[in-house]
Amino acid sequence: MATERALDGIKGVVFDMDGTLIISPLDFGQIRSESGVPRGQPILEFIRQAPEPHQRRVQAVLDKHERRAAQECTLRDGAKEVLQELGRRGFKVALLTRNSAQSVRIVLKRFGLRFDCWVSREHAEPKPSPVPVLRIADELALAPEELLVVGDYVFDVQAGHAAGARAAFLKTDIGVEPPPETDVVLSGLPELLDLLTEAPG
């Protein structure tokens, strides 16, 4: 499934953060338990539709857990090297996460990661909406079809495809299977370097 031809014309790569670039200790079950979010309901979507007092309570719990996770997470093998090499080869690199801007800043500072742009949930409607992918395309001055969205969850693939981008699914030890519409399946981030050899002019 992972073929160079599947990625013809790619000029920019948009990375998910949690699970893709970092291995995070975030426990969504614990967050739901502490905040009263029903099992199986995405937390950000619950916050948007809950009454305001409950919104604030859930947001406070989520912020606490995300901040700690950003301070305790580890960098996935090869992540920094892949980002640096893609930049050297002429690709634009961006970060797109449902996490908070505060968490992003902590992670970038801890690991010395650099992106041409990044978008957190404060900047645009979160994945699986195509809106943040379209915002990144605009900031990078690229067409959506010139972007590859890389992530470890179905929301990454859905957001990318809804925006007109292509999507690479990173298989991890949490056991989530790639959706059938995925363009490329990766078993490790360094595989990107075999598929994206040089950005088109």
What torsion do the CA atoms of 13, 140, 105, 88 make, to the nearest 10 degrees?
Answer: 50
Share of the chain above pLDDT 70, in %: 98
**pLDDT tens for each residue of 33-59:** 888 888 888 888 888 888 888 888 898
Tokens of residue 167, six digits: 């999507």
pLDDT at 8: 92
Q: Which amino acid is at 42?
A: P
Please name which of 177, 142, 138 lies closest in space to residue 157, comparing C-alpha atoms: 177
Tokens of residue 122, six digits: 């404060």
- C-alpha pair distances (Å), 97 with each of 5, 17, 47: 27, 6, 17
Instruction: List all residues 6 or more positions away from 130 whose beta carbon is below 8 Å from its beta carbon.
Output: 159, 160, 162, 163, 164
**pLDDT tens for each residue of 100-121:** 999 999 999 999 999 999 999 9
Share of the chain above pLDDT 90, in %: 74
CA separation for the pair 20, 90 (Å, rounded): 21
Which DSSP string corresponds to 59-78?
Answer: HHHHHHHHHHHHHH-EEPTT
Question: Over 50: is that where the pLDDT of 2 sits?
Answer: no
**pLDDT tens for each residue of 134-148:** 999 999 999 999 999
Length of the chain: 201
**Domains of the chain and any CATH numbers:** 5-24+74-195 (3.40.50.1000), 28-72 (no CATH)
CA separation for the pair 43, 29 (Å, rounded): 10
pLDDT at 38: 87
pLDDT at 5: 65
> How far is CA 147 from its chain centroid?
13
CA separation for the pair 104, 67 (Å, rounded): 9
Tokens of residue 80, six digits: 């920094």
Which run of H or of E encompasses 135?
Answer: helix 131-140
Instruction: List all residues 6 or more positions away from 30 whose beta carbon is below 8 Å from its beta carbon.
Output: 65
**pLDDT tens for each residue of 54-84:** 888 898 999 999 999 999 999 999 999 999 9
**Partner residues linked to 150 by β-bridges:** 15, 168
pLDDT at 29: 83
Mean pLDDT of the region 176-200: 93
Higher pLDDT, 29 or 193: 193
